């Protein structure tokens, strides 16, 4: 219901004002009333509030996206590096990306055991497949991608721990690495354990953004 400031009564009660409108400085101001249905107003305000919510910056999702982007990049580089190494002729080398150099070795480590020769070259194929699938799952934000990366990071810690015991500490070869190589390899394991544990903890806390239920 609209009111005229010059009249305390509703405009409907003042037919003259409703027809001509108010007069300001000798000029007539027309009063136009458009019938608006309540459901239209409710629908419009609902769409407006929905747009505000969608435009709100989600810092939690942004941080997760940054971490996933980094992990997806590492996985993609790992797949590409192993693909190039597949044709290296069973030797060590580098893959250069401008200022970035990726080194690959002639051996392949699976579950802590180092393979060499043709066997190592063939074992690069499942690494290429695994890294490629992980990069795709992270980039497309798939639920199975979360399970794959979470499980593979646990595997890396296990495999690296077994490798450190078998080779640097000599449980398999019967001879330890000389210093300072033994200390360097041992420190590398604990540094990797610390970093991967932090990533695993973060992924576990954010698992609901992948569609993984908190009870899983």
Work out the burial of residue 164: count CB atoms within 10 Å of its CB; fewer than 13 is exposed, 13-18 middle, 19 or more buried. Answer: buried
Q: What is the pLDDT of residues 98-141, one digit of tens each?
A: 677 777 787 888 998 989 888 888 898 999 999 999 999 988 88
Alpha helices in the chain (DSSP H): 15-20, 38-55, 59-85, 117-122, 124-139, 143-166, 181-205
Instruction: Assign 108 to helix, strand or coil.
Output: strand
Which tokens belong to 73? 């990049």
109 φ, ψ (degrees, to nearest 5): -105, 125
Give the angle 79-83-86 at the CA atoms, nearest 5°.
135
Give the number of other CB atoms < 10 A from CB of residue 189.
16
Helix (H, G, I), strand (E, B) or coil at 149: helix
Prediction pTM value: 0.66
Q: What is the pLDDT of residues 47-105, one digit of tens each?
A: 444 444 455 667 878 888 888 888 898 899 888 888 888 887 767 777 776 677 777 78
Predicted confidence at residue 4, as pLDDT, reads 47
Domain regions of the chain by residue span: 11-55, 59-210
């Amino acid at each position: 219901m609209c009111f005229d400031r010059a009249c305390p009564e509703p405009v409907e009660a003042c037919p003259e004002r409703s027809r001509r409108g108010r007069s300001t400085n000798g000029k007539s101001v027309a009063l136009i009333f458009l019938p608006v249905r309540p459901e239209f107003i409710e629908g419009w305000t609902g769409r407006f509030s929905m747009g505000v919510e969608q435009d709100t910056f989600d810092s939690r999702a942004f941080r997760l996206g940054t971490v996933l982007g980094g992990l997806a990049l590492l996985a993609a580089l790992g797949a590409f590096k192993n693909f190039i190494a597949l044709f290296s002729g069973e030797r060590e080398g580098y893959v250069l990306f401008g200022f970035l150099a990726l080194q690959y070795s002639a051996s392949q480590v699976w579950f802590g055991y180092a393979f060499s020769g043709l066997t190592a070259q063939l074992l690069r194929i499942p690494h290429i497949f695994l890294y490629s699938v992980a990069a795709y799952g992270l980039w497309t934000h798939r639920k199975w991608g979360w399970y794959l990366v979470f499980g593979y990071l646990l595997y890396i810690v296990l495999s690296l721990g077994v490798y450190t015991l078998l080779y640097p500490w000599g449980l398999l070869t019967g001879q330890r690495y000389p210093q300072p190589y033994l200390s360097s390899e041992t420190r590398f394991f604990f540094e990797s354990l610390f970093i991967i544990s932090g990533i695993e903890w973060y992924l576990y806390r954010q698992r609901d953004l992948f569609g993984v239920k908190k009870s899983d």
